[in-house]
Amino acid sequence: MGVCDERAVAMHGKQVQFDDDTWHAIEAVADEMGSTFPELAAEAFADLLRKHHQPVGFFAALEQSLGGHGNPRKKTSSKSEMRQRVSKTN
């Protein structure tokens, strides 16, 4: 074995099975896009995680915790907005 590289990323893998019709459809999309199956799978999982608002990685989680903006200063609410929020919770 080679020397351990601290920058190496641990990769997890799973084997998946598709019925013939689904596999042929996936292959057709891959051919149309000029992509490989792993590229299509990565895109599909990224879309799934985005759909369910699941951040991937530290910086994505930080950005989401800041309300999806790169600016850590949040807009301060007006008094009327604060009253509306309080009345909704009561």
Q: What is the pLDDT along the chain (90 residues), one digit of tens a residue?
A: 455 556 677 888 889 999 999 999 999 999 999 999 999 999 999 999 989 988 888 888 888 888 865 544 445 556 666 566 656 655
pLDDT for 60 equals 83
Q: Is 10 inside any structural domain?
A: no
Angle between helices 37-51 and 20-33 (to 10 degrees): 100
Q: Is residue 62 part of a domain?
A: yes
Q: Which residue segment(s) compose the domain that 74 sits in?
A: 58-90
Structure confidence at residue 26 (pLDDT): 96
* Predicted pLDDT of residue 79: 61
How many domains in the chain? Answer: 2
Ranges assigned E (strand) in the chain:
none
Report how far residue 46's alpha carbon sits from residue 50's, in angstroms, rounded to the nearest whole number.
6
Do residue 28 and residue 46 come from a single domain? yes
Domain assignment present for residue 81? The answer is yes
Say how far apart CA 2 and CA 28 lie, in whole Å: 39
- The predicted pLDDT at position 40 comes to 95
